[in-house]
Amino acid sequence: MSNVTIKDVAKKANVSIATVSRVLNKNYFVSPELEQKVMDAIKQLNYYPNSVARSLKNESTQTIGLIVSDISNSFFTFVNRAVENILKQYDYNLIVCSTDNEKEKELSYLKLLLEKKVDGIILNTTGFNHEFIASISQQIPIVLCGRKISSPSFKGDFVDSDNATGAYQMTHHLIEKGHRRIGTICGQQSISSGIERIEGFRRAMQSIGISLDEQYPYQFYGNYNCSDSGSEGARHLLSLTPPPTAILAMNNELAVGALRYFRSHNIRVPEDISLICYGNILNLDLFYIQPSYIDMDPRIIGTRVGELLIERIEHKNDLPNREILFAPVLMEGNSVKSI
């Protein structure tokens, strides 16, 4: 039966239209007997409520937008799952968008979500639309995940691991193992996490008298969202004379790319090169080589992101800006040797 209306449901259940509306909206008490009659009628008629009309009446679509740079990255897959686990407790649905770290794609998704009248947005930004994000943050609750924006007019929350401290810990661990020629494969410096991780690396190297300036040779800047950048970075660093004795990959995708290059060129880890990375690699326990890494549990981050957004929605976006940074933890594998 097509084009079934609420009137058809009321007639089938032999109740008033108001009773059907109350069952659907759950805003008034309806006896269990009547509620069951309405639900049976809905099922028999294959009736689907007009969500657009309901959202206009209730001023809520019960939808949240999640925009990330690369949903195929296992980190964001787990963040997504954790966010969903929080949102489902409040009957919210999630719309997931992946920008491939492209400015225009992010802008298009932001405008689309506004048109869809989502109740809030969780954003892992590209780093290129700061002023637009700041302007819409005055209208709609926003929580930033993993990357902050620089605009002072932004209204919302931010959740991440402490990137500078984590990168410092990684570098210090290599220094303790005797390494001095330490290479780094980095991502874009247009985003806050990229800048902060390099700062942690710089601070650790300065502690042993090595300046990380333009003359420091063991640096490669690529794309966080592309494991090929990890391969290219490893190729470049190992072509130097002398080559580094250890490499820091500043995220898991870059580490995977570096490992791929090592394998294809018969470069042994850690015998020929030590490796450490920021962030866990999916199914790491199945690897023969298990890189040491900075643990930033995406489940914890995603859970906190979801909680903050619900709080901001419930308070009509009338909350001070909040920043949550989780302490990074160094997990030692078998990829770093002492020299």
One digit per residue, the tens of pLDDT, for the chain of length 339 reads: 447 788 889 999 999 988 888 888 776 788 888 899 999 998 888 787 665 555 545 568 899 999 999 988 888 999 999 999 999 999 999 999 999 999 999 999 999 999 999 999 999 999 899 999 999 999 999 999 999 998 999 999 999 999 999 999 999 999 999 999 999 999 888 899 999 999 999 999 999 999 988 889 999 999 888 889 999 999 999 999 999 999 999 999 999 999 999 999 999 999 999 999 999 887 766 678 889 999 988 999 999 999 999 999 999 999 999 999 999 999 999 999 999
- Does residue 291 have a cis bond before it (omega within 30 degrees)? no
pLDDT of residue 83: 97
Beta-bridged to residue 68, according to DSSP, are: 98
Of how many residues is the chain composed? Answer: 339
Ramachandran class of 79: left when φ > 0, alpha when ψ lies in -120 to 50, beta otherwise: alpha
222 token code pair: 């690529």
> Going by C-beta distance under 8 Å and a sequence separation of 6 or more, which residues neighbour residue 199?
164, 167
298 token code pair: 């995406």
pLDDT of residue 153: 96
The dihedral over CA atoms of 285, 286, 289, 295, expressed in degrees to the nearest 10, equals: -30
Beta-bridged to residue 326, according to DSSP, are: 161
pLDDT of residue 21: 83
CA 177 → CA 65, 173, 245, 337, distances in Å?
A: 44, 6, 11, 7
A 10 A CB-CB count for 266 gives: 7
CB 110 within 8 A of CB 121: yes
pLDDT of residue 188: 86
> Going by C-beta distance under 8 Å and a sequence separation of 6 or more, which residues neighbour residue 320?
none
pLDDT of residue 1: 40
CB 298 within 8 A of CB 269: no
A 10 A CB-CB count for 209 gives: 7
Output the pTM of the full model: 0.80
pLDDT of residue 85: 95
Gap between the Cα atoms of 207 and 25, Å rounded? 62
pLDDT of residue 54: 54
Beta-bridged to residue 66, according to DSSP, are: 96, 122
Interhelix angle 32-45/6-13, rounded to 10 degrees, is 120
